[in-house]
A and B are shown apart, each in its own frame.
Chain A
């Protein structure tokens, strides 16, 4: 699913001095895995997530997504990759204000080239437990509900890969646990999930943990029981 080879990301300060964010990252993540990337603030985990999400390109090195080298893609090509193959879940939910839950879920369908399937959006809301709230404006919803809407949105275009950036960071722990359980369920159904966090407890939900420190992979370990065996067939929600 994901192959990184010697990925380096260097930012330029305003005065021109280079700031290394990722020094030399090489790793593979298979289809169907649930992986957390853990690191402290400034460790480079956000930079890595931006590259994995095709929001940014590596300064050097190769990033293959599903066997396809996307590291030199243009902005427009990367937009298409994001539309069809990657779902995003953010710490701050990032739902559109003045917009209903179901309209939020439909947003990715606007950019995938196909029709907007309201039925699918409603089914996804049902899947995340919000069938009754589909017509509500998201600003009327609790944090946990908003994150569920965001997860439904991430799944709208049936991407094989879900990237989650501190998805429980703005939630209290009970609500956070329910979100993690939802993500675990989705992973069991075949979705590949890469989750960035600084929180060890959150990281413990995943079978594999990458620890990143000062822009390099400090450790890569399996923990507890791996979820259901990786499968090449992606069938999210039938």
Chain B
């Protein structure tokens, strides 16, 4: 029997057994739907994490150096770090390491109360050098950033995040207004472009920037740094740069391995790769669960097909009597299974896309549609039908026509 005719016959059989076909279809559709939804949600999450990560760290051409050993965790703050990283270290890196474009100095401290007129807010204070904003990819919505002149003159100026604009100035233009930090007045010169929420969900806009020289000499009275951010000429060479910076700082700090470093050098790309790895592990688990669901769909197909084979023994006997070979019968049942599974796959893709769209809406993420994965899901469904249809089809092919026709 020709393939075209086998398909036609399979379609007719499926159409005339609507209930059985529906259950077979649903069995596969549920699995495929979860597969498509999981894959889309996983991909959407991955892309969102990437976006958030970029938002947090800016671009990827930087190496950051922070005080404390490699075991240190969290954001370095003036109150918690060892005073090991100095302005002189930053100067040395700028002067001696090849492939360095710019070096930003940073002194940060968290949970500090600041006032503007009668309002108070708790924020983090970042003393930064003039390059800092540009290296981070930050910009201002109004006013200006921290300038080289501010650094040199120890100017009492500040650039604030959007949260402070909202909390201290009720969203009005704060440029020219005063903010008092520990009773020292600073003039607001700009507002940062908002970054939104970080991967943990916390706001990235509750901060204010000061010139690092002003912070060091007029506010904190500390001469060490919490972070040195090094922008590379060639980001591809970051491993060499990390090694060179590590060597230079060990030399300057008099550290000889195996003595532990009192600083750590990291590259956002390495960190991002870690984040992505965690993410892709999560996606794999989700997809794995969905694959299991699809296999269960296959088992549904198999059991319904087995029931169908025993119900249709007489039909098989008739077909054999009028000339069908074992192969004809095998093909007929296999094509039926593959066809209904593929249809289930199509329905599953539609349900899955709908599910992914709903999930994306709830998470307020842009929905991600993986067209390749959808085509793959339909093919997978057909393959599931073929594989799980094989045993019932084999049983059908081996029905003894003499037994089956005995009335």
Contacts and interface: CB of A to CB of B under 8 A. Distances in A.
Interface of A: 50, 53, 55-56, 75-76, 79-80, 82-84, 88, 90-92, 94-99, 103, 107-108, 110-112, 116, 153, 156-157
A96 B321 contact: no
B405 A111 contact: no
Q: A-B pairs with the 8 shortest C-beta distances?
A: A83-B323, A92-B407, A111-B323, A108-B322, A98-B16, A79-B325, A82-B323, A111-B324
Interface residues of B, number: 24
Given A90-B405, A92-B407, A79 B323 contact: yes
Contact of B323 (A90, A95, A96, A112): A112
B81 to A, nearest CB: 79
B316 to A, nearest CB: 10
Contacts, number: 72
A15 to B, nearest CB: 20
Contacts of B321: 53, 55, 82, 88, 94
Contacts of A82: 320-323
B323 A84 contact: yes
B229 to A, nearest CB: 75
A91 B407 contact: yes
Contacts of B327: 76
Contacts of A90: 405, 407
Contacts of A84: 323
B9 interface: yes
Nearest to B400: A55
28 contacts: A55-B320, A75-B325, A76-B325, A76-B326, A76-B327, A79-B324, A82-B320, A82-B322, A83-B322, A83-B323, A88-B322, A90-B407, A91-B407, A94-B317, A94-B318, A96-B315, A97-B315, A98-B16, A98-B17, A103-B12, A107-B319, A110-B1, A110-B9, A110-B328, A111-B1, A111-B324, A111-B325, A111-B328
B402 interface: yes
B194 interface: no
B13 to A, nearest CB: 8
B5 interface: yes
B401 interface: yes
- Max chain A C-beta neighbours (<10 A), residue from B324, B325, B327: B325
A110 B1 CA distance: 6
A73 B33 CA distance: 49
A111 B402 contact: no
Contacts of A80: 323, 325
A141 to B, nearest CB: 16
A55 B401 contact: yes
Contacts of A79: 320, 323-326, 328
B105 interface: no
B314 interface: yes
Interface string B323-335: 1111110000000
B405 A94 contact: yes
A116 B325 contact: no
